[in-house]
Structures are given as structure tokens and as C-alpha cells.
């Protein structure tokens, strides 16, 4: 049994779904954004402000490696995790990668007002559209499995749970 790595755009439900699935299966839950904040003793906007996106991505890579070495669980990742091929290799080598796929309009509604995501600061809907079009191919090619994240939370949790039983 390996990790189940949840990937997908900001607002696709990785943390909420991951936590619920881990609770139901009695497996550990990891959240890369939370672990980055704990390790740096700073919020994500603070890390972006002080170290730029590249500093944040370096911390993200360390955390992925750290989680990969821990007992198998459900890991929610930050939306940009797939930007670094090293992360994809680490995730693939330690478990199954599951994409929570959702359309931009749903993400935009779900995110609502948010000032804790630096990459959306310049205009949420437009940035979501731009980021989704830059990343869609990479999300899909990185994933072992794709779960439709536009349904109810219960449906998404059930689909991810089924993916876990196969992992
Ligand atoms: C990012 C997504 C965020 C967080 C950071 C960058 C991205 O995580 O890691 O703000 O590049 O898509 P969520 O996907 O949990 O919002």
C-alpha cells in the first residue's frame, strides 16, 4: 500500500476530500501546504512575499520528499505541485496520483473571496482560467486516475476511497 496523492487546481477540494477519506479509512492525512507553513513558521502569502514563488516551490519539493518517506496515507497537495517533474517522480514512486478534476467556473464559485492564494491576487477568475489552461495537460498526464470533482463531496469522497482500495 502506498500514498494516495491528490492533485488538482486550487479549489478542487483536495484538502477537504483528503481529510475525510483519511478519517474514514483510518489512514494518516498529510497536507503539503500546511506542512510548508508549519516548517517555515509562516503563512503561504508570507513565504511568497519573502522568498518569491521559487522559494515556495523549493520548500514544496522538500515537503513532498518528506511526506513520501512517511507511513502511507492520503496527501493533499498544493495546486502547483505538478510544475516540478521531480515532485511527479517522487509521488509516482511512493503511491498513486489522483487528479480531482473540476471546471474553472466551479473553482471560481467555490473559492469565493480569498486572499490566502498569492497566485490569484491579480484577479481570481482570469488567473484561474490562465493557470488552468497552462496546467491542464500536465495534471492529466501526471495522474494515474482522474476523479470528477464537480459532484457532491460525498460522491467525490466515495470515488477517492475506491481509488485508495486499488492503490
Ligand atoms: C498554488 C496552490 C495553493 C498553494 C499556493 C500555490 C498553485 O494550494 O500551494 O498558493 O500554484 O496552484 P491549493 O491548491 O491548496 O490552493
| CATH of residue 134 | 3.40.50.300
What does the pLDDT read at residue 163?
A: 83
What does the pLDDT read at residue 167?
A: 66
What does the pLDDT read at residue 112?
A: 83
Mutate to test the pocket of ligand 1, among 78, 118, 119, 134 (most ligand atoms within 8 A of CB): 78
What does the pLDDT read at residue 1?
A: 83
Could you tell me the pTM of the whole model?
A: 0.97
Cα separation, 34 vs 122, in Å, equals 23
Q: Is the CB of 33 under 6 A from ligand 1?
A: yes
pLDDT in tens, 12-61: 999 999 999 999 999 999 999 999 999 999 999 999 999 999 999 999 99
* Residue range(s) defining the domain that contains residue 132: 3-166
What does the pLDDT read at residue 80?
A: 98
| 132 alpha-carbon distance from chain centroid | 14
Cα separation, 112 vs 58, in Å, equals 28
What does the pLDDT read at residue 165?
A: 78
| Contact yes or no for 153/24 (Cβ under 8 A) | no
- Taking alpha carbons only, the member of 63, 38, 75 closest to residue 163 is 75
Low-confidence stretches of the chain (pLDDT beneath 50): none
Count the domains in the chain.
1
Cα separation, 160 vs 157, in Å, equals 5
Amino acid at each position: 500500500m502506498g500514498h494516495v496523492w491528490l492533485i488538482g487546481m486550487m479549489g478542487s477540494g483536495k484538502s477537504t476530500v483528503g481529510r475525510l477519506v483519511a478519517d474514514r479509512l483510518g489512514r494518516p492525512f498529510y497536507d503539503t501546504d500546511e506542512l510548508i507553513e508549519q516548517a517555515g513558521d509562516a503563512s503561504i502569502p508570507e513565504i511568497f512575499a519573502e522568498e518569491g514563488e521559487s522559494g515556495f516551490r523549493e520548500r514544496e519539493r522538500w515537503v513532498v520528499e518528506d511526506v513520501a518517506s512517511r507511513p502511507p496515507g492520503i496527501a493533499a497537495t498544493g495546486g502547483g505541485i505538478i510544475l516540478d517533474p521531480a515532485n511527479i517522480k517522487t509521488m509516482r514512486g511512493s503511491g498513486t496520483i489522483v487528479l480531482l478534476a473540476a471546471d474553472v467556473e466551479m473553482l471560481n464559485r467555490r473559492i469565493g473571496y480569498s486572499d490566502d492564494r498569492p497566485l490569484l491576487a491579480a484577479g481570481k477568475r482570469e488567473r484561474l482560467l490562465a493557470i488552468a489552461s497552462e496546467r491542464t495537460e500536465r495534471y492529466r498526464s501526471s495522474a494515474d486516475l482522474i476523479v470528477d470533482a464537480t459532484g457532491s463531496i460525498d460522491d467525490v469522497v466515495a470515488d477517492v476511497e475506491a481509488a485508495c482500495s486499488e492503490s
